[in-house]
Structure 1
Amino acid sequence: MPVNVLFSARSELWPEYEPLLRKGLAEAGMDFHLSKDIDAELVDYVVYAPNGSLQDFTPFTRLKAVLSLWAGVESISGNETLTVPLARMVDGGLTQGMTEWVVGHVLRYHLGMDRHITRQDGVWTPDAPPLASQRTVCILGLGALGEACVRALATLGFHVIGWSRTAKDISGVTCLHGSDGLRVALSQSEIVVLLLPDTAATENMLNADTLALLPKGAQIINPGRGPLIDDDALLHALNSGQVGHATLDVFRNEPLPPAHPYWAHSNVTVTPHIASETRPVTAAQVICENIRRGEAGEPFLHLVDRDLGY
Structure 2
Amino acid sequence: MALAIIAPGRNVAVWVENIKKIDPSITVYVYPEIIDKSEVEAVMLWQHPKGILNDFPNLKLICSMGAGVDHILSDESISPELPIARIVDKKLTFSMTNYVIMGILNYHRQTLRYQINQKKKVWDMSRPEISIRVGVLGVGELGGDVIDKLQALNIDVSGYGYSQKSGLTYPYYYGNQINEFLKKVNILVCLLPLTPHTENYLNLDLFKNCSKGTYLINVARGKHLVEEDLIEAIENGYISGALLDVFRNEPLPKNHPFWESEKITITPHIASVTNPDAAAPQIVENYQRMKLNQSPKNQIDRKKGY
- Superposition TM-score, scaled by structure 2 size: 0.87
Q: Note if contact 1:92-1:282 (Cα within 8 Å) is conserved in structure 2.
A: no
**Alpha-carbon deviation of 1:189?**
0.9
Q: Note if contact 1:68-1:88 (Cα within 8 Å) is conserved in structure 2.
A: yes
Match of 1:42, as an amino acid?
A: E
Matches within 5 A, 1:76-91: 76-77=72-73, 78-82=75-79, 83-91=81-89
**Alpha-carbon deviation of 1:201?**
0.6
**Structure 2 residue 3 is the aligned partner of structure 1 residue 5:** yes
Q: Distance in 1 between matches of 2:224 and 2:192?
A: 8
Partner of 2:28: 34
Give secondary structure in 2 for the equivalent of 1:162. Answer: strand
**Alpha-carbon deviation of 1:286?**
1.9
Partner of 2:20: 22
Q: Deviations over 1:75-100 (max 9, x none)?
A: 32143243411112322232222112
Partner of 1:140: 137
Choose the corresponding residue for 1:247, options 243, 249, 269.
243
Give secondary structure in 1 for the equivalent of 2:97. Answer: helix
Partner of 1:302: 298
Partner of 1:43: 40
Partner of 2:159: 162
Q: Note if contact 1:5-1:32 (Cα within 8 Å) is conserved in structure 2.
A: yes
Q: Note if contact 2:135-2:181 (Cα within 8 Å) is conserved in structure 1.
A: yes
Q: Deviations over 1:188-237 (max 9, x none)?
A: 11111111122221122122221122222110011111221222322122
Over 6 Å off, 4+ runs: none
- Superposition TM-score, scaled by structure 1 size: 0.86
Choose the corresponding residue for 1:218, options 201, 214, 220.
214
Q: Distance in 1 between matches of 2:258 and 2:269?
A: 14
Matches within 5 A, 1:75-114: 75-77=71-73, 78-82=75-79, 83-114=81-112
Structure 1 pair 210–301 and aligned structure 2 pair: CA distance change class (3 A):
same
Partner of 1:199: 195
Choose the corresponding residue for 2:65, options 47, 63, 69.
69
Choose the corresponding residue for 2:276, options 280, 301, 308.
280
**Alpha-carbon deviation of 1:109?**
0.8
Match of 1:35, as an amino acid?
A: Y
Q: Distance in 2 between matches of 1:50 and 1:299?
A: 24
Report the RMSD for the aligned CA atoms in angstroms.
Answer: 2.4
Give identity over the alignment, percent: 32
**Alpha-carbon deviation of 1:151?**
1.9
Q: Distance in 1 between matches of 2:169 and 2:180?
A: 18
Name structure 2 gaps, 5 residues minimum.
Answer: none
Partner of 2:230: 234
Give secondary structure in 2 for the equivalent of 1:17. Answer: helix
**Structure 2 residue 52 is the aligned partner of structure 1 residue 56:** yes
Matches within 5 A, 1:183-198: 183-198=179-194
**Structure 2 residue 184 is the aligned partner of structure 1 residue 149:** no
Give secondary structure in 1 for the equivalent of 2:286. Answer: helix
Q: Distance in 2 between matches of 1:25 and 1:162?
A: 42
Q: Distance in 1 between matches of 2:164 and 2:21?
A: 39
Match of 1:104, as an amino acid?
A: M
**Alpha-carbon deviation of 1:10?**
4.1
